[in-house]
Amino acid sequence: MIALGLLLALATGGFAAIAVAENFRGGSEYAVEVFGNQIATLSPPGLFLSGAALALIFCLGLAMIAAGLKHRRRVRKALASAPVTGEPGAERPLPPQPVHRRRRHIFGH
């Protein structure tokens, strides 16, 4: 999940950077070109909404990276705290179940 999130964040950031760098022409209609190929013609509101969509996809990639790191840290902590028995054929007990805590509420909700 970390790799997928990183790929998603890098791809949207790269696409946005290339699209902005190659499109400095003004006017009422914007022809979006990437590597010399016109991929769309957008009005100013369409251009704004496509930028907002790219920002949301970028944030999704960052959230996936954070969730993957949190999961990896939780698994490593559970494996490190699991007791190891000295018997060669003994099974390792299951890691303890996470305690459900109240989530942080945003804006008092």
DSSP characters over 25-54: --SSSEEEEETTEEEEEE-HHHHHHHHHHH
The pLDDT score that the predictor gives to residue 87 is 60
* pLDDT for res 78: 85
pLDDT for the residue 89: 59
pLDDT (0 to 100) of residue 95: 64
pLDDT digits (tens, 9 = 90+) for 57-99: 988 888 898 999 999 998 888 888 877 665 665 566 666 666 6
Count structural domains, the chain.
Answer: 1
**Which residue's entry shows tokens 């998603």?**
8
Is residue 107 one of the residues assigned to a domain? no
SS3 72: helix
Range of the structural domain that residue 22 is part of: 2-81
Identify whether 20 is part of a domain: yes
Question: Is 109 contained in some domain?
Answer: no
Q: Which two tokens stand for residue 91?
A: 């099974």
**Residue 33 counted as domain residue:** yes
CA distance 28 to 39: 17
Q: Is residue 60, in this structure, part of any structural domain at all?
A: yes
